[in-house]
Amino acid sequence: MGRSLFGTDGVRGEANKHPMTAEMALRLGAAVGNYFGCHKTQSNRVVIGKDTRQSGYVFEYALTAGLASTGMNALLLGPVPTPAVGLLTTSMRADLGIMVSASHNKFQDNGIKFFGPDGFKLSDEVEEEIEDLLVNDISLAAVQDIGRAQRVDDGLFRYVERVKSTFPSGMRLDGFKVVVDCANGAAYRAAPEALWELGAEVVAIGVQPNGKNINEGCGSTHPELAAKAVLDHEADVGLCLDGDADRLILIDEKGHIGDGDQLMGLLAARWAAEQRLSGGALISTVMSNLGLERFLNTRGIGLIRTKVGDRYVVEQMRAGGFNLGGEQSGHIVMTDYATTGDGLIAGLQFLSEMMRKGKPASDTLNVFAPIPQMLKNVRYGEGQTPLEQPKVKKAIESAEQKLKGQGRLLIRKSGTEPVIRVMAECENDALLSTIVDGVVDAVEKASSI
């Protein structure tokens, strides 16, 4: 069958429309129950977390029913960050972890992410095998072997304790005023609590989820709200999480926004100086700024690029024995601490670096001068293939010729929504705009046919 259901980060789409229906979630639960029943390593346990979307109830219960029908026992965590699922899958000796979330997407969307018994996201190959099971007969358990479901009340507490343990021993955040924007998402309780317990004065926003306001005008995709709060409250720093809290965007004390590239550069330089950067390289994606690569090279640190998607970053890290990687969008993966991106742990690492340097966030965060970069998204309709249209191919070829020797152009389809992403880098601002706008115009015209 191949991978047609799974994207770059699990299965995702608009709730109550294919593939994100209760029926599909039920079959997915049964399929992964069959798969991990045959490849069982530890138990019949499955850890299930979710973010705060109203549709989360549909998929949590449908997955549980499918899993139970194949003899798997579901441990329901309720709303927790995605990295908490990776953590608790291993600590609770489960065969499988599932996170119900569409991350930074609008509330109408939802998704299902799977983690293996080691706490890491499943590989493309395993996802393909699971898709194959969906079109075959799924083996159901004998009636006496049907699984059970139970709530886990202390999952959030376990996660908060793990997060705090990554902060340097003996350090406290006394005297720091921190704005944390939880995007009305999965970390609305965990993030303010962890920061407060470490001694910070916390200004929490985006902590009133109602099932429909996740990522709405807040969080890592809308950091302007946190930037205003930092200025209004004269805070030292702002931490912006997304709906499932696996990514982070930083705000300095002046209200300026810093992306994942700056934080990765900061951490890579620190870890290399301390001789704890495994493999002497940072793993990131093709989206990371050329300025980051130049900054790292001047310090003898390599940059290895992967396809877009934190799971591909992690796969490269594991294959090569690296311990630091991430994405410009704010996924920061530190395998010394977690199996996936963790926005809260990344925020604590930044705060600890501020304390070590004794400098404000603005001086700590801006570690390199980025090359001007422009990214525009073009949405297309179901069944459309704009990148295959001759006029679009010609526009892309022309843009690449104009940029040759002066920058780079990256065109890709999103793996989580029907969007074409057009990104270019060039130190000539006028040429940069011309290149991006020309390709975007061609894609838009092809998408309106």
Question: Which ranges constitute the DSSP H helices of 203-309?
Answer: 224-233, 260-273, 290-297
Angstrom distance (rounded) from CA 183 to CA 49: 17
Angstrom distance (rounded) from CA 81 to CA 245: 5
**Is 103 among the catalytic positions?**
yes
Residues 6+ apart with CB under 8 A from 298: none
Angstrom distance (rounded) from CA 188 to CA 79: 9
Tell me the residue length of the chain: 449
Contact 12, 102 (CB under 8 A): yes
Strand partners, 20: 17
**Burial category of 449 from C-beta neighbours within 10 Å (exposed 0-12, middle 13-18, buried 19 and up):** exposed
Angstrom distance (rounded) from CA 433 to CA 424: 9
Structure tokens at 367: 């570690």
Structure tokens at 13: 């789409």
**Residue written as tokens 């130049």?**
294
Produce one character per residue of 302-311: b if its CB has 16 or more CB atoms within 10 Å, e if not. ebbbbebbbb
The DSSP H or E segment spanning 27 is helix 22-38
Residues 6+ apart with CB under 8 A from 227: 238, 251, 255, 256, 257
Give the C-alpha distances (Å, rounded to integers) separating 20 from 16, 26, 98, 444: 6, 10, 15, 27
> Within 13 A of 65's CA, how many CA atoms are on the CB side?
12
Give the C-alpha distances (Å, rounded to integers) separating 431 from 159, 378, 397, 410, 424: 47, 20, 15, 15, 10
Neighbours of 72 (CB within 10 A): 30
> Within 13 A of 148's CA, how many CA atoms are on the CB side?
4
List the Cα angle 68/73/78 in 5-degree steps. Answer: 100
Give the C-alpha distances (Å, rounded to integers) separating 243 from 92, 93, 211: 24, 26, 11
Catalytic: which of 103, 220, 284, 288?
A: 103
Question: Residues with catalytic annotation?
Answer: 103
